[in-house]
Structure 1
Amino acid sequence: MGTVEVFDGWECDISQVEGLGASKSPLSDYRDMDRFIEARSPELVREISHDQLRKNLAHREIRILHGRPTSDHFAHYAWDGRIWLKNTGGSHHFAAARYIAKRLDVRVPLMGRLRKYGINPSAVHELVEHFEVFVVPDDAEFSVAFSDAMRYAGITWLWAPMPRPCQSERAIFLPRTERRSRKAAELLREAGMPDLGAHLIGVARYPRTLST
């Protein structure tokens, strides 16, 4: 259902990067990179100056700048719209450099491989033609209760893990051909569970594009 395009030598400014792929600190605890660096390494951004910007950019673990060759690369997802740096290190110094560069209004050009992830519209339409698809919590208490209820009611269903950053949820697939599964879909919709099928249709129809 997914598509991938790869572009070597793609360029952007550091300010355009809105997410990181890895860090020793919990990235998911923070709404954006600015809040991440303010909370985790405030000493790196205490001084907003060109000298402090250079010091942060000189950090060797920012491999998109210093590691040639490197597995670090950029990623863009049609359903998300943001540019991510899939890094293997240097998260704090990169976020700090970005923070300072934005406040100094200084451009910091970056170049590397870009992987663009999209959705195949035909595959999405085929999926939703056969299944109702919802997103539910993936915590143990909910999962046990949900599984027991579905089993007790004799409802056919499938599930799959959700990709990052939605790994705390799971996708539920309910066959449209079965009456009990259709009823379960109605109840999930009434309960306010996100309709993943409708969301995928929207993404396939109006993807968040990125100029390459």
Structure 2
Amino acid sequence: MPATLPFGRWLHKARWVDTAAWKYAQAFHEQARQVAFPAESASGRGIIRWQDWPPCFGGDIAHWEPGPRGMLCRRATLAPASRLITTVYHDAFSCSIREITSLESGKGGLTTSATLDAYALSECCGLINSDPAWIEKLLGWHELRFNAAPGAGESLESFSWHGRGYHLLNQGGAHHFAAARYLAGFYAPRFCINAPLARYSINHEAAQDILNAYDMFCEPEDQAMLEAFTHRMAAAGVPHATCPAPPPWDGEYRLLLLSRESRKAAGAASVLRQHGWFDVSALLRSHVTP
């Protein structure tokens, strides 16, 4: 299966049951080409949450391999994934409020605002004034739990593969926090927030083991289209595997894993890469490359 074959011709080579199945596979391909890296936002949606990827905590992947009567499915864990993430906890951590760049929860345009300052200006103008003492009052809002008992308050996350700052795991109070942070930029840029921190980093050796084993792509979570595309893979005898995608892609997309040890799977990977499927392997590689 030469990598230079146009995608349509590659699809046509399958023994299709009907025209509808072929059209589904084409539509599936077009959707897969639209997958993109999530845009950065004040909600942290631009953070790929590898630490929440199911294979990292024992979730299995479905392997489909050619057999005498079609494709056979077996389920197994992805062993290197269990070592992919290293987590270090800091019970007492302090950082400038301006170093917090995204929030877990918030009303209005949190997900569509590129930054927390943009969110503050568009959503929180009624909370912004010129009194520096107002910062403390805003952070004392009852939905913000900075003074709660240990284990019940706000906490922070940081990610070695995402260098934009700290992510606040709040349950509410987004408007008040964003307004306080905005004011601090003018009146108290070193104003400190104290909260527990979970610091996540990628284990380079485990990541390389995954990259050596598979080419990974993001594909739509659409059952009818997925069945049609899987039929094409079966007709070509291409071994492959699937598993849930890491957040924020989960729910809408899954990962397609193609073994680098299989000539047919490697050929399929070349076709998909050439025709614009989102290369998750390249993304993971960029996250471990200094």
TM-score, length of structure 1 as denominator length: 0.82
| Partner residue, 1:186 | 270
Question: What residue ranges of structure 2 are gaps of 5+ in the alignment?
Answer: 1-83
Larger Rg: 2
Distance 2:125 2:224 in 1: 41
Q: Which amino acid letter does the alignment assign opposite residue 44 of structure 1?
A: L
Q: In the alignment, is the contact (CA less than 8 A) between 2:87 and 2:198 conserved in 1?
A: yes
Q: Which moved more, 1:7-16 or 1:70-79?
A: 70-79
Match of 1:49 among 111, 126, 131: 131
| Partner residue, 1:120 | 203
Q: Which moved more, 1:105-114 or 1:86-95?
A: 105-114
Q: In the alignment, is the contact (CA less than 8 A) between 2:120 and 2:179 conserved in 1?
A: yes
Describe the SS at the equivalent of 2:162: coil
Q: State the Cα deviation string for residues 29-50 of structure 1 (Å, max 9, x = none).
A: 22111222323332122x2331
1:171 deviates by: 2.6
Question: What residue ranges of structure 1 are gaps of 5+ in the alignment?
Answer: 207-212
1:105 deviates by: 4.2
| Partner residue, 1:40 | 123
CA RMSD of aligned residues (A): 2.3
1:146 deviates by: 4.8
Q: State the Cα deviation string for residues 179-202 of structure 1 (Å, max 9, x = none).
A: 332222112211233322233233
Match of 1:162 among 215, 240, 245: 245
| Partner residue, 2:22 | none
TM-score, length of structure 2 as denominator length: 0.62
Q: Aligned residues, how many?
A: 201
- Aligned pairs for 1:129-148 (under 5 A) are 129-136=212-219, 138=220, 140=222, 144-148=224-228
Q: Which amino acid letter does the alignment assign opposite residue 9 of structure 1?
A: A
Q: Which amino acid letter does the alignment assign opposite residue 92 of structure 1?
A: H
Q: Which amino acid letter does the alignment assign opposite residue 125 of structure 1?
A: Q
Identity level (%): 25
Structure with more contact order per residue of length (Cα contacts < 8 Å, sep ≥ 6): 2
Alignment of 1:58 onto 2:155: no
1:169 deviates by: 4.3
Q: In the alignment, is the contact (CA less than 8 A) between 2:132 and 2:188 conserved in 1?
A: no
Classify 1:76/1:147 alpha carbon distance in 2 versus 1 (closer, same or farther; 3 Å).
farther
Classify 1:160/1:34 alpha carbon distance in 2 versus 1 (closer, same or farther; 3 Å).
farther
| Partner residue, 1:86 | 169
